[in-house]
Structure formats: structure tokens, C-alpha cells
Chain A
Amino acid sequence: MRKPKNVIRKGESKILLLMALPAFAIYAVLYLYPALSNLLWATRRWDGNPESEPEAVGFRNFTYMFTNDDVFIQSLGNNFRFMILVVIFQTGFSLLFATYLTKNTRTTIFLRTLYFFPTILSSVSVGLIWLALYDPNYGFINASLNALGFESLALNWLGDSRYALYALAVTQVWFHTGQMMVIYVAGLQQIPQELYEAAQVDGASKWQQFKHVSWPMALPTTAVVVAYTTIQTFRAFDLVYTMTNGGPLNSTEILVTLIYRNAFFGYQYGYAAAQTVVLVVVVLSLTWLQRRTLRLDYGAK
């Protein structure tokens, strides 16, 4: 097979390289170099005092966080719980609504636009809105529960370490379900209509159609949605910082908020850098694992 001709005249590739140069320079200095230097910082101890020298400590930051730092272990656990909750519910709801709203009609387009709306707000705004809704005394949620006679359910959602992480997960799901739904809608719309028609001829119920057509056909989309949602839950700094700032009793501390606290309030720059490395390793291995699982599953069908 002959490739389409794409001859570049002499001198042109030089100009092309020059065109890529400014972007590359900024990217190299402010992305690649910091990412690499973070590895170096991770093996140091430094309190940020310009008069003191950073001290090389080898892997001691890592051994310390896994053997002596309860808050770190707790944050890691919180982050996993938060991820599992959000991935399950956000993926489930977005797939459900996408299935309902796959066709393009006036109503479905309106609902999709409405469901997507929270995505355009800032995490800080969303956090403040939900702080108000969760307010134990004046918030809409508890006021409604009281009015309906469920006084015992009107809890201190964000102030109680038993519920705070769940309350945050609800907010996160509210925030991004619409965005994931739109991705699913795009995926579902690409499934050939004949497959559903054939299933209907065979007398398949809605559930059977979903199980045997939509779900297997949409698996690649699920892989994308799950991966992106996972990354979101590890990036949820803005929301957590706004709503609980890691409290009460570290019950909502996730890795990014802990890193932020260790660096900018604890002045342990080396230690925080080491935790960043762990964060990156966790996120990368999780996304790799998910892609593998979902792809294998897909291949088997």
C-alpha cells in the first residue's frame, strides 16, 4: 500500500520545528522539568527556609509515610473509598440517564443540557452551594427532612466524621454525572440501530436489550468514563478544600489535600513531594489496571 504523499521540502521541517518550539520550551521548563525535579525533592528533607540546605534522605520519606504516618494511611484509604463510591454511582447514574436520553428529541436535549449544567460551575461554587444545603441547622436538606417528619435523619452531614466522606461523594456525583452522561450518549448513539431492532424482533425486554446490546457495545466508553472519574476523585482538591478541608478528624483528607497541608502548612516540602510520587503511582496503576480489565472483558465478548 502506498502512503499518501506528504513530501516536505527542505527547509520546511526547520520552520515546522520552529513553530513547535515556543510550546515545547514552556512545556519543558514548567512541566517536564518540575515533574523530574519532584523525584529529586522526594528524596530530600527541607523546611523551605532559604537559610537551611535541603538534606538528602534517600528513601526515608517513603518508608516513614508507610510505617509511621497514620494520617497518610488514612488519607490513602479515604481516597480509595471516595473513588469507589464515586466511580460506582457516577458511572451507574450517567449510564442509566444516557440510556434514557440516547435519542435526540426536544425533551432529551433539554434534560441533557440541564444535567450537564453543574459541570460548568467551579468546584468552589459547587462546594459552597452544598455547604449551604448540608448546613445542619438552616440547610435545605435537613429542613426538608424535618418538615417531612424524618427528624432522626437530619444529621450533621459534614460535621460528623462518619458521614462527611459520603456527603462529599454525593456532591461529586451531582457535579460530574452530567458530563459522564454526555460521553455515554455519544458512545450509545454509535451503536447500530439494527442491533436493537433485531433484539426487539426476538422479543427482548428493555433490560435484555441493555444487557446484550448496550452494555457490551458501550464497554470502551465505560473504560473512558471509569478512568476519567477515577482521576477526578484523586484530583478533587478544590471541592474537599472548600467543603471540609480534610476534616472532621481527617475523615475527608485525601492525598492532594494532605500534600497541600504538609507542604504549605507543615513546611515539609520533601515529604510532600514524596507523597506526590505515591499519588502519581497510584493514579497511573489504577488507570492502567482498569483499562486492562475493561478491555479484556470487551475482547472476550
Chain B
Amino acid sequence: MIYKTIKGFLLSVFALAIIIPCSIVIMGAFKTDLKIISEPLALPESWNFDNFKRLVDSGSVYTPAKNSIIVAFFSVFITLFLASLAAFAIARLITVTGKVLFVLFSVGLAIPGQVNIIPIYLLFVDLGLTNSLTGLVLVNIALTLPISIFIMSAFFRDLPKEMFEVAGIDGAGPWRVYRSIALPLSRPAIGATGIFLFVICWNDLLYPLMLITREDKKTLPLTLIDFRGEYLTEYSMIFTAILVASLPMIIMYIAFQRSFIAGLTQGAVKG
């Protein structure tokens, strides 16, 4: 009895600790600053989009949203493509070379990515890749390749070997086996990894902060950071901006809950 009460109490407290801040933000996007402060938990008087209009009119939504989409899209797709190729090769190469490759990629898992902050910055200045979305995509690919290869090669190794052998007997080369057997079979793994990568690329602040200074190249997290200074305690604008920047994630989370949770935890476990 006491056990059940305590359990119910603790579970509700943490549920509220998540629901309350989130509803303050969501409802705040439809309120005035005054109402946000005086009645943070009250429903908005009307669900009007004034704050959203103001945000769009301020000119700070379209460009960063576009940049974020471009960077995340290309980073995720190129990483998935290159990582799945490499992981397939590593899983199929039973020679020493395959093992060496795997160990080399694993080094990247062991070293925390921040070790590269300074050398990458200096390298990118030399290469003229600062203030460039291509630069951000390259950084994202390099930083997420090791973990993606790790997750996917584990998956490929678990696939029944007979499938590859039969295909091999039929005369299919590695490229065909990859395309028509390995890829279709690993769709769930690729999907989960893709979500994991998308969240990382969409949310990253450190590298954009280092590499991007020009307004027209900024991504959403950078614009949000600027908002912190620009609007200070004008919470109606800040909350609306948070909502807009998180909306793609929220929609995807509701639509693909399972793969989302699988992707984000498998990344954690393997990383």
C-alpha cells in the first residue's frame, strides 16, 4: 500500500516536472509577456498566431530554418550512405584489413569529439570552410561516422551469413549484395541510426558557434542563442522560437516514437 502510494507520487512528480515546463512554453507561444508571467499555466485567451507572425516578420526564422534543414539533411544522408558502405565492407572483410579498419574507426569512438575543436577550426580557416554550410556538413559527417559505422557493422554482422553466400554463388558481386540484400534487410537499423544522427545534427551548437559568424549561414540553435540576448525576458518571443525550432523533432517523435527511442538509446549504449 505504502509502496504503491510512494510509487504513484514519484511518478506523478516527474511527469509534472516535464509537463509543466513544456506547457508553459507551448501556451506561452500564444500569450503576451504579461500573461506568461502572471498566469503561466492558464490556457491562452485565444489561440492566435500573433507571436508567430512577429517572429516571422523579424526575419529570423526562414533563413536559419532553411540552413538547419540543409545541414541536417545532407549530413544524415551522406553519413548513412558512407557508413553503411563502410560497415558492410568491414562486416564482409574477414581479412586482417577489415579488422584494422574496424579498430581505426573504433578509435574515434574512444576519443571524445571535442578533442577536435581547435585543430578543426584551424584547418577549416585554412581551407576557407568557415561560414559555409558545406563545412558544417563535413564536420557532422566526420564526427558521426565512427558511431554510425559501429552501430551498423554490428547489425550487418548479425545478419545470417548464408544469405550473402547464396547471393555470392549466384554470381552477385559485393556491390549487388550490398544493394539488394544488406540495405533492404537493415532498414530498421538505418532508420534508427538516421534519427539518432538527425537529432545530433539538428541540435548541435558548438561547431556552428565556432565556424559560423555570418547571419545568412546561421542555423536554428545559433539564432536561438541570439534571441537570448535580443529578447532577454520577452518570453513570448523566446517561447515561440523554441516551439518553432523544436517542432520538426516533436512531430517526428510523435510519429516514430519507437524508432526514436531505439535510435537515441542505441547511440548511447554503443557510444
- Which positions in A face B, CB cutoff 8 Å? 4-9, 12-13, 15-17, 19-20, 22-24, 26-27, 29-35, 37-38, 41, 48, 93, 96-97, 100-101, 111-125, 128-133, 135, 138, 140, 143, 174, 177-180, 182-183, 186, 206, 224, 228, 231, 234-235, 237-238, 241-242, 256, 259-260, 263-264, 269, 272-273, 276-277, 279-280, 283-284
The interface on chain B, measured as residues whose beta carbon lies within 8 A of the other chain's beta carbons, has a size of 98
Do B117 and A260 touch (CB < 8 A)?
A: yes
Q: Digit string of B67-98 for contact with A (CB within 8 Å is 1, else 0)?
A: 00000000000000011011011101111011
- Which positions in B face A, CB cutoff 8 Å? 3, 7, 10-11, 14-15, 17-22, 24-25, 36-37, 40, 82-83, 85-86, 88-90, 92-95, 97-98, 101, 104-105, 107-108, 110-123, 138-139, 141-143, 145-146, 149, 161, 164-165, 168, 173-175, 178, 199, 202-206, 209-210, 220-221, 224-225, 227-228, 233, 235, 238-239, 242, 245-246, 249-250, 252-253, 257, 260-261, 264-265, 268-269, 271
Of A120, A133, A177, A179, chain B has the most CB atoms within 10 Å of the CB of A120
Write the chain B residue with the least CB distance to A28.
Answer: B104
Do B86 and A19 touch (CB < 8 A)?
A: yes
Q: Given A228-B269, A231-B112, 15 other A-B contacts at CB below 8 A?
A: A17-B89, A19-B86, A20-B101, A23-B83, A26-B82, A26-B142, A29-B142, A34-B116, A122-B224, A128-B238, A133-B24, A138-B37, A177-B14, A235-B114, A263-B121
Residues of A within 8 A of B101 (CB): 20, 24
CA of A38 to CA of B121 in the docked complex: distance in angstroms? 11
Cβ-neighbour of A259 out of B83, B90, B117 (below 8 A): B117
CA of A5 to CA of B162 in the docked complex: distance in angstroms? 9
- Sample of 15 A–B contacts (CB below 8 Å): A5-B165, A30-B142, A31-B146, A34-B120, A38-B118, A96-B10, A113-B257, A120-B249, A125-B245, A129-B24, A231-B271, A242-B205, A269-B122, A276-B118, A279-B115
Residues of B within 8 A of A180 (CB): 268
Residues of B within 8 A of A96 (CB): 10
Do A20 and B90 touch (CB < 8 A)?
A: yes
Cβ-neighbour of A228 out of B118, B228, B271 (below 8 A): B271
Cβ-neighbour of A128 out of B107, B175, B224 (below 8 A): B224
Do B86 and A140 touch (CB < 8 A)?
A: no
Residues of B within 8 A of A15 (CB): 173-175
**Contacts A263-B121, A264-B210 hold; do A183 and B269 have CB atoms under 8 A apart?**
yes
Residues of B within 8 A of A179 (CB): 264-265, 268
Do A19 and B118 touch (CB < 8 A)?
A: no
Residues of A within 8 A of B105 (CB): 24, 27
Do B268 and A228 touch (CB < 8 A)?
A: yes
Write the chain A residue with the least CB distance to B241.
Answer: A128
Residues of A within 8 A of B104 (CB): 24, 27, 32
CA of A146 to CA of B89 in the docked complex: distance in angstroms? 62
Residues of B within 8 A of A113 (CB): 257, 261
Distance in Å: Cβ of B268 to nearest Cβ of chain A: 5
